[in-house]
Amino acid sequence: MKCTLLTLLGFFLSGLTFAECSDFDAKIEANKSAQKYLGGKTFKNARVLKKHLPSKRKEVASYVYVKADDLYYTVYSLVNAKCEPKIIKRTNGKH
């Protein structure tokens, strides 16, 4: 009985302790920040490239088309556990 109670308590607390931004939410937030940064629209679904284990931040690639320049860009962002993106780099625009 005691072991079962501790196991259930562990499962309940693990969800609270290790809460992180889901892949879906990370992609949405990264796309929003990339569109705002470049002033364009996404033309392809974002991808979560990797998850940094110690910090649990996710590296997300967003694909943005800027009509004014007629160029396509890839913008890379790190999204933390609170779903706050930080742009780390972008590619040169391509036709």
Kindly report the backbone phi and psi dihedral angles of residue 42, in degrees, each rounded to the nearest multiple of 5, phi listed first. Answer: -75, 140
Tokens read off for 47: 């991808």
Q: What is the pLDDT of residues 5-53, one digit of tens each?
A: 556 556 555 544 457 899 999 999 999 999 999 999 999 999 999 999 8
Give the side-chain half-sphere CA count within 13 A for 95. 0
DSSP state of 47: E
How many domains does the chain contain in total?
1
Q: Look at residue 36 and tell me if it is in a domain.
A: yes
Question: Structural domain of residue 59, as residue ranges?
Answer: 20-90
Q: Look at residue 53 and tell me if it is in a domain.
A: yes
Tokens read off for 83: 């779903």
Q: Look at residue 1 and tell me if it is in a domain.
A: no
Q: What is the pLDDT of residues 69-86, one digit of tens each?
A: 999 999 999 999 999 999
Q: Look at residue 5 and tell me if it is in a domain.
A: no
Determine whether 78 is exposed, middle or buried from the number of CB atoms within 10 Å of its CB (0-12, 13-18, 19+).
middle
